[in-house]
Structure formats: C-alpha cells, structure tokens
Amino acid sequence: MTDQAMLFGSTGDRAENDPDRLTVCALNVQSAPPARAHKLAEWLLSTEASVLVLTEIRDSDGSRQLLETLRADGFSTTPAQLNAAGAPTAGDKYHAVIATFGHQISRQLRGPMGNRVAVTDLTTVHGQVRIVGMYAPANGMTLESSHTRAQFQRRALGELAALRRPRTVFAGDLNVVEPGHEPRLTAYETHDYEFYTAICSAGMVDTFRSLHPDQHEHSWFSDRFLAQRIDHTFMTSATGTVTGCHYDRTTIDTSLSDHSAMITTIDLRTGQATGSLTSP
C-alpha cells in the first residue's frame, strides 16, 4: 500500500465488487481545493461505488490530488490525466471525470465537446456497459447564460445520440430540472425542460424517477434560487434494473461539496447482453 493510500484509506478494506451489480456515484465536487480533496476522496471511497462520475473538476492542485488518491486506491480514471497529451488545448476549464474500480476498461473516449464529457466502456460479466459523464454549464440566470446552455444542450443531444449503446449509463450535473419540478423555478427556460425530456424520449430512463415517481428530492440548495434537482443519472432500459437510487446529503452537511451525491445501484443480470463494442 502506498503512503498516500494509507493516509486516505484504502479499497483494500472494501468488499469485492458484486459482478452482477453496478453502483454509480455521481457528484459535483465543487472544484475541491487540496484542503478538502483528501476528505472528499475518503468519503468517495467509503461509498464503495464501482463507478464515480465527478463533475466541476478543474486542472488544479486539489483536483489532481483527488484523482491521484483515487488512482492510488486502485481506480482508473477517464481522462487518465487532466492535462494528458492530445487533450483539447482550447477546451473548457471544467472537466467531467469517470473513475472506475473492479471492472476492466475496454475503451476511453473524448467526444468532440471536449472536457465536459468523458466516456468509458466497461467490460462486465454481463457484457459491455458504456458510461457517459457530463458537466453541463451552470444556470447563471442571465440571457448570456441561457444562450450558452441552449447551445450546449443542442450539441449534447447530438453527441449523446452518437455515443449511446444498448447498455449505457449517462450521469452528471446537467444543470437542468424536470418539468413539474417542485418548487417551481422561474430561472429555467423552455430549452432546459426540453433537454431533460429529449433525453427521456431518446430511450433513457431517469433512474431516480423509476423508483420514486412521486418523490420531490433535490441535489443543490439555495436560499435565493430554491432547492433544485439538477444532478441526474439516466440509463438505457437494456442496461438492467434499478434496485436503489437516492441523493446522499452527507456531502453538503460535512461541507465536502455544495451538491448532494447521487448513488444508483443497477442489477445487470436483467440487462441485454452485448458483445464487444466495435465502433467509437
């Protein structure tokens, strides 16, 4: 065990991954500085999730420390390095990162949208599962912000359609809420709701709604802008069956992030078996 692994805790103490299940933890890490990164890494390891979708990552000392700690504890990350050779030089300063444990990675991709989208193909005993992580632009409550979000959303729907495979999990801080969200939020516009509904119309299942059709839950809280469910996990129905999905507010209560973590467990045995992926 490395000194770093001893400092932050180790996956050596965790139970072996259940090969029949995929546990996905999606969390906006709020650009963690070094002082918070080690505590955040400890908490992420404690979830025993096999897939972490981390958003609002920046190429900073804190983010690098967070990812280095996860790698020291046996996780593989996509991208492998935030400043890896060949990464878009003119890309957005914010990154989405996927970290996986206990599953073989058959492919890591970067889409044309650059840093805000990360893609990993996992080989499981039940076939290939594609993980897509995304960090969408925040709602700045201005006309410029609305225009930026609308442009991103149009491109994201096209990229998601190209990336989608029979078994796909799509997660991250999408900075949109669903139609009928409570409380009612006047800061969101028609294109924001259309982005959410278009994802569902494309055959993706909202994992939280699949288990909690009537529950009003939130992942980000503001006295001024009210409580919002802006962190989401979707999957194709062929991926499997959602057996658990909840928002864990521990990250907010302990000041690890200003977002709740979203933890989803998927039983892969009921999914559609697929062979190796041959196209990007």
Per-residue burial over 87-111, b if 16 or more Cβ lie within 10 Å, else e, is beeeebebbbbbbbbbbeeeebebb
HSE-up (13 A, CA, CB side) for residue 138: 11
The pLDDT of residue 277? 36
pLDDT for the residue 140: 74
Kindly state whether residue 242 falls inside one of the protein's structural domains: yes
Q: Which residue has the higher pLDDT, 31 or 16?
A: 31
Let me know if residue 280 belongs to a domain: no
pLDDT of residue 39: 96
What's the CA gap between 112 and 63, in Å, rounded?
Answer: 23
Given a cut of 50, whether residue 203 has pLDDT beyond it is: yes
* Separation between Cα atoms, residue 20 and residue 273, nearest integer Å: 12
pTM: 0.89
Asked whether residue 117 is assigned to any structural domain, the reply reads yes
In a domain, 266, yes or no: yes
Any domain includes 36:
yes
CA distance 249 to 260: 5
C-beta separation of 74 from 153 below 8 A: no
Does 276 fall in a domain? no
CA distances from 13 to 9, 45, 50, 78, 262 (A): 8, 10, 14, 24, 23
Range of the domain at 72: 3-9+18-270
Report percent pLDDT > 70 for the chain: 87
What is the model's pLDDT at position 85? 43
List Cβ neighbours of 50 (8 Å cut-off, separation of 6 or more). 17, 22, 23, 24, 100, 101, 102, 103
Alpha-carbon distance of 8 to 5, in angstroms, equals 5
Number of domains into which the chain is organized = 1
Residue 91 has a pLDDT of: 61
In a domain, 153, yes or no: yes
What is the per-residue pLDDT across 73-98, written as a single tens digit (0 to 9) for each? 999 999 988 875 444 444 678 999 99
Model confidence pLDDT, tens digit, residues 48-57: 999 999 999 9
CA distance 30 to 22: 25
Q: Do the beta carbons of residue 268 and residue 20 sit within 8 Å?
A: yes
Tens digit of each residue's pLDDT (9 = 90 or more) over 31-45: 999 999 999 999 999
Residue 5 has pLDDT above 50, yes or no: no
Q: What is the pLDDT of residues 107-166, one digit of tens each?
A: 888 767 889 999 999 999 999 999 999 999 988 778 888 899 999 999 999 999 999 999
> Tens digits of per-residue pLDDT, 211-266?
999 999 989 887 667 788 999 999 999 999 999 999 999 999 999 999 999 999 99
- Decide if pLDDT at 275 tops 80: no
Whether 277 maps to a domain, the answer reads no
pLDDT score at 187: 77
User: For position 215, which CATH number holds?
Assistant: 3.60.10.10
